[in-house]
Each structure stands twice: as structure tokens, then as C-alpha cells.
Structure 1
Amino acid sequence: MKINKLYVLIISLLSILNCGCKKDWLDAKPSKSLVVPTTVADYQALLDNSTSSMNINQPSLGVISEGDFYVNDTRFPGLSQTERSVYLWAPTTDNFYSAATVDDWTLSYARILNENVVLDGLSKIKAGNQSNPAYKNVEGSALFYRSFDYYNLAQLFCNSYSSNTAKTDLGLPLRTSANINITVNRSSVEQTYEQIKSDVLQAVQLLPIKPLTPMRPSKPAAYGLLSRIYLSQQIYDKALLYADSCLQLQNSLMDYNQLNSADPRPIQMFNPEIIFNSTLITYLSFLTTRLIIDPNLYQSYNGNDLRPANFFTTVGGNLTYKGSYSGSSTLFGGIATDEMYLNRAECFARTGKITEAMADLNKLLKLRWKTGTYQNASVTTADEALILILSERRKELCFRGLRWTDLRRLNVDSRFQTTLTRTVSGQKYTLLPNSLRYTLPIDINEITLGGLQQNPR
């Protein structure tokens, strides 16, 4: 697998030197002590000073594909070739990305290299440091970040997890060393998920319950990631276990009655629901002048539901998305308690625990509706509970980078299969359930230079 060495070197140098691009440094002779971290504090600084890359620019092409918005015919030609291909679920790998670098792939692997630099370096100073809380935090953080990056990549560039085919489906090139000269071919989907889980299971033993900032990983964040992973694998008992473990440590919810929906950013950064803060890559498609909310999504909210007023606004006569847990126009892609309540509710329903499932759902929705208007939802069967929870999941977690994975995993169940359609210049485009197009092609440069096998499409 090819990695742009100059790009990586620049990232590493900027990270270690805290972005101090001063002329006296540029004029100075290279010094090994300046660019090679050697202590626990150095490696923590490497992760912390890399927040410009470690906590932003997570893969977001799935948001373009998932069908919760559309772009009108006037704005569509202004999108990049990559966005147009992803938006229309293009049927071929030929010219899918044109000659452009695929940021979802490249930026993730740049972070993975950074994580491997930390883990390799820590292994060299392990003696006498293993019981040091600071050492544990750095190691756990690097493992969490690597798991998070590989998981997000797998949602786009690997087939959805299936126990029947995971051992033969193409997975990711799994780099676990900072040595960029090692040739790494594609693993299987099974091996990819085993690596992802191995990293985060180690991390959960090392990380603190309360981090210094939500920009750092924590034990609740690791439990939350495990729940997300097992949910995507349709292993619902373990997804339930880890959602519950997460909520035992962090379970705060916001009351949307306390938000100012007239504010351009009603939901603030580091709000009480944030467990781990991370944001998605911003594409042209996400600009409020382009992104138009799917009417079916908007109309699914009750009139007393406060989420539409806090999530959506009108720009140029079109309904668009304004709400984001990031506190800015950048889409939130981290882990939060509302997701964990929905994870746990879904898994309760799937294991026949209707009372517990509805308790979680009602607790969440009561804080999303106007005070005094919400009446607890009641169902008689687990299937009814599941249908209701999945409907609320789409409404609560929209534009968070989660629906694409939900579509992929739910399409294996005929009850929840979804056919996506879009129309551009009078031509209708369709994405059928379980289509090969649910897996994006890999950048042609990686295929050509790195010798990787391409995804069928």
C-alpha cells in the first residue's frame, strides 16, 4: 500500500513541534532530538498536538451516499468527480474518483501511521513504565484511535460484515507498524474486524473513565466504540453489553427544551452527551447552499418534536441541515450518549426485552419533545419496538456518519431493506439492497502503486 511519505513527514513534524513553523527552525540544521519523541510525555504530546488530524477529517463519503439529502440539478455539476460518483452510486470503478486523492482513505492512513509511531515508540520504553498512568493513557489512546480509524474505513471500503463470508471478503491493508517500507496486502473482513476489536479491547483496560477533554479517548468511549462495532456485525448481545457498560459510566442527556433553536448552532461543542469528540471531512455536498433535506426524513418528525427546529433551517428557500454536535457547520462523527441509548434499546428489543427497550427510547424522546407533550410509547411485541427504535435512530442520528452502516447491516433483513433513489437532470438512479455498490472502490493509485485488489462493483 502506497503512502505519500512527504505528506506524512510534514504531518509528523508539525505535530511534534506543535505547529511552530518559525523561520529560525526552518533555517536550523535537522536535529534528531527535534523529530523523534523519546518519553511518555513526548508521545502524549504527539497525540495531543495532532488534534488537527486525530479528531477531525473522519471518512464521510457514506453521508453523501445514504440518501438523507439531495442536491438540485443547478448545484450538482459543481460537485467534485468523487462526490458525483458517490452521490449517484456509480456502477463502475473507471474514473470513479478521476485522478483525485481519496481523502477518506488517505487521511485515515496518515493517522494510522501516526498511531503506529506512538505504539512502536512506547514499546521501546515499556520497561518501568507499564504501571505509569500516563503511559497507559497514551498507549490506550493510540490503540483506540487506530481501532476507530480502521472501523470507519471498513464501513466504506469493505463489504458489510457477514459471518458467512467474512473469512473470504476483502478487508483492509492492516498496518500495525510505523515501518512504511513493509508491503501490506488486503486482509479479510474477518481479520479486519478482529484487529479493530483487539485494539479497542486493549484500550478499554488502559484508558481513564474521565479524560482531561472529550478530544481524548476514554473508557466510556472505548465501550461505546465496541458497541458500535458489534452492532455493525449484528452481534447484538455484545453490542448491548458494551452500550450498557458505556452508559454505566456516562449517561447524561440534554433537554432540547433548554436549547435555543433560533441559534445558528443550538447544540454546543462538548455538550453533556459527548463521550468522544470527532468530526467528519467536509465535502461541497454538505454546504447549506447545496444540501437539501430529504422530505421523507423531515416529515417523519412529530409536530411536538424539537429536533427539526434544532437540526434544520431554511437557506435560499430550501430546507438544509444546521445542527451538529461539533458546535460548527462541520458534521459530528464522534461517540455520544444518545447513540448508546439507541444502541441499547435496539439490542434490548432484539433480545426480547421490550420493557427495557421502551424505557431507553422513552427516556430519550421525552427530552426531545416540548415539555409536557410526550406520552410514553407503548408496544406489545419486540418487532413493534424494533421498528419504532430504528425509525427514531434515523431521526436522532442523522448526518452523524452512522446511517450508511445502518443501511448496510439492516439490508440483510427483508423487513428493513431500503431501496435508495435519486434523480439528476431527469434521470433516475437506484441503489438496491445488498448491492455491491454499498462498498466503495479503492483509489486507483493505491491499486496501481500499492498492488491492492480492487473491490468488485
Structure 2
Amino acid sequence: MKTFYCKTIIGNIIILGLLLTASCRKDALNIKPDQALVVPTTLQDFQGMLDNVVTLNEYGPAMAEIGAGDFYLSYASWQSLSDPFEQNCYIWAKDIYNGETAYDWDSAYQKIFYTNVVLDGLKQININNANQSDYNNIKGQALFVRAFSLFQMAQEFAKPYNAATAKTDLGIVLRLTADVNAKSTRATVQQTYDQIVSDLTEAAGLLPDNPKYLTRASKPGAEALLSRTYLSMSDYPNALKSADASLKVNNDLIDYNKLDSTAYQPLQMFNNEVLYHEVLTLYLSFYFGLADPSLVNSYDQNDLRRVMFFSNNGDGTYSFKGSYGGDLYFFGGLATDEMYLNRAECYARQGDASSALQDLNALLKMRYKTGTFVPVTATGPDDALTKILGERRKELCFRSIRWSDLRRLNQDNRFAVTLSRTLNGQTYTLPPNDPRYVYPFSNDIISLTGIQQNAR
């Protein structure tokens, strides 16, 4: 199975004679179009660029999912990985690239470049009553995609957000223009998150409630990403506010009793819970990966997620099949179930156990066999929080959310986790708050940009 696809093959945009290409080995921060080709100038051109789903909705950054502990590999499977990069990511090695590039970085900054082309181009559009709605929608989409890519890069290449050190901790490169001559420098963590919040706040005010396609951004999608961002910052009041705003527009949940647990893929792509569709890069380790036994065994026998999410391999192992992304791809987008859990966690953290459990039970009722669900109770907000985080682990697995959750929750001794994996008798561990929760930049990125390397 091919795990990575050259951007010159999958990343092309062809719109009304426009062709933007990017070399697999060019600096992803400085990808630029062939100036001899037609430059996008109309709203139709810009919408066409944003509808390039192969570039903008596929190949979401997924290194975080490799390291998050949702799956394990047998030693034979680990040895069979054709790319040493994946082998090293799996064991949280200090040096992971072996001279290769950071594919996640390339993919994300290609998306950022395309959105900057759109945002720069929109400044030349004459706005009037006839085009105002389309202009707002297109600008909102571009801001959303840029913010999403920046957020994903922050989870992999910047330190976890800590309010006490965020103004001095190194963040990521903020590319806010398509000008290839702009110098690449690292912002602080605070500046990184401020930019993400700014983009999403503006996007939420521009986007429609209901997108034409789920591969396009929407107001509830922007609010959902704002909630995820604030949650990663441990800004729980704002995370609650954004989750609530998203759910006020779309609070649909799937009744798992209506699904076929024997199907190859019980959960369909573009289902009613999806707010924004993105799938992660299909690394080979995902294909060979087996679900963590402690995760599978954490589901109650009447919890339908156990049979909807996992297929029994008949040898005591389980494989994940519950993606909202379709086919073999892991879903990396946004969905309403996450917003129920975000809001529930935030309610619990502000001392409102009743509202927290109301959201949790609304979700779980749709996940248990009809007639078997017993509403969750709690002795108080702290007990409710513990139970909500447990359900978050079970509901949002294999979505590249766990890594971000670990980074923030490890800062609280009550919820800190040490990850471990064993290969051929050797055990590898990732303690809480370890520097390896921040991935290094590949050597080519350092050479091309001169940015400071992350400590490992």
C-alpha cells in the first residue's frame, strides 16, 4: 500500500486554465505557482481552488496519531514498514526522519499557501450587493482551512499551550501571505494560537450555517474548531461558548442502533454528525495497526461502539473500522459528538455537573443498545469530569485528537498518562510532558528556512 503521494501528482489544481503545482522536494513554505500560467482572479477561480478536495481535505497531518497510543504493531508488522520514519515515530525516537522530509509539514503548508493565494486575491475583488455573500463565504472558507492547518502544525511542532510560558515558547511558522519572499520565522506559542483564534473568529462570522458540501467550512464547523482550539489551551469558558454555538446550529447525533455492525464500514462518510470532512494521511502503520486492548476492553458489552468501531480478527486482536472518513482513511475532521463532549467537559470544569451529565448522557444514549442504557451519574463535578474524559477516550479514538488531549491533560497530575509500546522484548515509553510530545523539524526544513530546531 502506498502511504505518501507526491504533491505533483495529487496536489494539482486545474481551474479555468489555472495550474498550481508543488514539487515533492521544494520548500513547502515557499510553494509558488508557475507565473506563466493563468493567475486566479475571480470568485469562481477562488472557490474552485478551495474545492480541490484532494489537496485541502485529504492527507491531513497524522504523525500525532502514530504516537497517540490508540493502536499497536506486532514486531513483524513494525519491521515490515517500508519507511524508517514511521518506525521511529512509533517508538517516539528522538531522531525520526533519517534524512527524509516531514510529510505532515509539507501537506499542511501547501494548504496554507493555497488559502493565502485566495486571501491575497480577494483583496483585489470589488465587492457589491451581488457578490457579497459569495465573497464572505469564500473568505471564511480560506480562513478556516488556514487556521485548521496552523492548529494541526501547532499540535505536532510546538510545545503544548501553557499560559505561563506561551509568550516565550516557540510556536510554528505563521505564513499569512502567498508572497514567497516573506521570511520564514517561528512565532511564539501565544502568537500561534492568537492567529488561529483570530482566523476562526472571523471565519465564523462570514460562513453559512449549512455548507453546500461537507468538504467546505461552515459556521458550526468554525465554532467547533474554535472549541477544539480553546480546549487545547485549557481555556474552558471559551471552549464551552464555542461548542455551544456549534451545537445550536447542528446538534445531530447518529443512533447506532440503526447501523449494521457486521458491515465492513458501519459508519458512512458525510454522515449527519460530520461538520467538516477531512481524512488523515494513510500511513502504513495505520493499515497494520491493531487496536489497543485496553481501549477495546473499556467498552461495556451493551455499548455499540465496541462492534461499530472494531472488527474481531478471531485471534484475540481487533482492528479499527469505525472511521467517519470512509474506506481505510482515518477521519480527521470535525463532528457533533466531539462538541457534546467538549461542552460536557467544560460544564464539569466550571462546577455544573448536572449540565455536564446531560450532554454526556444525550450522546451515550445514542451509542447503547436500545433499552440497555443506564444514565451516567456522578457524585460531583470532579467525578463527572473523570467519567467524561473516559468517554472522550472511547468516542474520539483514531481521529488525531488523542495526542492533543494528552498534551493538555498531562499537565494535570490527575489525568497524566505514560504511554508504552513493546517490540521484540524491548519496551519504549513516553512519560507525561516529555519533550518528545513536540516533533522535530526535518533537516531540509531547517536548511531551507533557518528556523530553530525543537529540543528532543
Deviations 1:133-179 (A, max 9, x none): 00111000000000000001100000000001111111111111101
Q: Which residue of 2 aligns with 1:376?
A: 375
1:350 aligns with 2:349: yes
DSSP-derived class of the 1:124 partner: coil
Aligned to 2:302: 304
Asked if residue 45 in structure 1 is aligned to residue 48 in structure 2, the reply is yes
Equivalent residue runs for 1:289-438 within 5 Å: 290-315=288-313, 317=315, 318-438=317-437
Q: Superposed, which structure 2 residues align to 1:125-164 within 5 Å?
A: 125-128=125-128, 132-164=132-164
Instruction: For 1:295, give the aligned amino acid.
Output: P
Aligned mates of 1:149, 1:130 — CA distance in 2: 31
Helix, strand or coil at the partner of 2:76:
coil
Which residue pairs with 2:199 in the alignment?
Answer: 199
Return the letter of the residue paired with 2:54: S
Instruction: Give the Cα–Cα distance (whole angstroms) in 1 for the partners of residues 214 and 328 of structure 2.
Output: 19
The answer (yes or no) to whether the contact 1:130–1:136 under 8 Å persists in 2 is no
User: Is the contact between residue 72 and residue 424 of structure 1 (CA under 8 Å) also seen in structure 2?
Assistant: yes
Q: Residues of 2 paired with 1:46 and 1:425: CA distance?
A: 47
DSSP-derived class of the 2:269 partner: coil
* Alignment partners' CA distance in 1, 2:279 and 2:9: 23
Task: Kindly provide the amino acid, as one letter, of the partner of residue 304 in structure 1.
Answer: N
In 2, the alpha carbon distance for the partners of 1:239 and 1:19 equals 39
Distance 1:389 1:371 in 2: 21
Structure 1 residue matching 2:319: 3-state secondary structure: strand
1:327, distance to aligned residue in structure 2 (A): 2.3
The residue identity in structure 2 corresponding to 1:215 is T
Runs of 5+ in structure 1 lacking a partner? 1-5, 22-29
Deviates more, 1:33-42 or 1:216-225: 33-42
Contact 2:214 2:270 in 1 (8 A): yes
Structure 2: where are the runs of 5+ without partners?
1-5, 22-32
Distance 1:68 1:20 in 2: 36
Conserved? CA contact 1:171–1:190, under 8 Å:
yes
Alignment partners' CA distance in 2, 1:13 and 1:58: 17
> Which range moves more in the overlay, 176-185 or 365-374?
176-185
Equivalent-residue separation in structure 1 for 2:260 and 2:410 (angstroms): 37
Q: What SS class does the counterpart of residue 74 from structure 1 fall into?
A: helix
Residues 13 and 20 of structure 2 are in contact (CA less than 8 Å); yes or no, is this contact kept in structure 1? no
Structure 1 counterpart SS, 2:160: coil
Which of 80, 83, 92 aligns to 1:89? It is: 92
Look up the match of 2:439: 440
Report the Cα distance in structure 1 between the residues aligned to 2:424 and 2:99, rounded to whole angstroms: 25
Name whichever of 68-77 and 341-350 sits farther off.
Answer: 68-77
The 1:416–1:31 alpha-carbon spacing in structure 2 relative to 1, beyond 3 Å, is: closer
Shift of 1:114: 0.3
Greater CA drift, 97-106 or 240-249: 97-106
Name the TM-score, length of structure 1 as normaliser. Answer: 0.92
Question: Quick one: distance in 2 between partners of 1:447 and 1:275?
Answer: 36
Aligned to 1:27: none
Secondary structure class of the residue paired with 1:404: helix
Residue equivalent to 1:241? 241
**Distance in 2 separating the partners of 1:35 and 1:82:** 38
In the alignment, what sits opposite 2:61?
59
Shift of 1:16: 5.8
Of residues 142-151 and 319-328 in structure 1, the stretch that sits farther from structure 2 once superposed is: 319-328
C-alpha distance in structure 2 between counterparts of 1:31 and 1:228, whole Å: 36
Query: Cα–Cα, structure 1 residues 13 and 388, in superposed 2: closer, same or farther, change >3 Å?
Result: closer
1:278 equivalent to 2:281? Answer: no
1:373 aligned counterpart, secondary structure: coil
Structure 2 distance, partners of 1:389, 1:168, is: 32
Q: Is the 8 A contact 1:71 1:291 kept in 2?
A: yes
Q: 1:106-255, aligned counterparts within 5 Å?
A: 106-128=106-128, 132-255=132-255
Cα offsets for 1:286-313 (capped at 9, x unmatched): 11xx211111111100010000111111
Identity of aligned residues (%): 47
Q: Distance in 1 between matches of 2:34 and 2:195?
A: 35
State TM-score, norm by structure 2.
Answer: 0.92
Change beyond 3 A, Cα 1:16–1:89: farther
Give me the whole-angstrom Cα distance separating, in 2, the residues matched to 1:211 and 1:128: 22
Give the direction of change, closer, same or farther, for the CA distance of 1:280–1:9 in structure 2 (3 Å limit): closer
Q: Cα RMSD between the aligned structures?
A: 2.1
- Size of the aligned set, in residue pairs, is 438
Q: Tell me the CA shift for residue 131 of structure 1.
A: 6.4
Distance verdict in 2 for CA 1:176–1:31, change over 3 Å? closer
* Aligned CA distance change for structure 1 residues 271 and 17 (closer, same or farther; 3 Å): farther
Determine if contact 2:12/2:19 at 8 Å carries over to the other structure.
no
2:7 & 2:347 partners in 1: Cα distance?
46
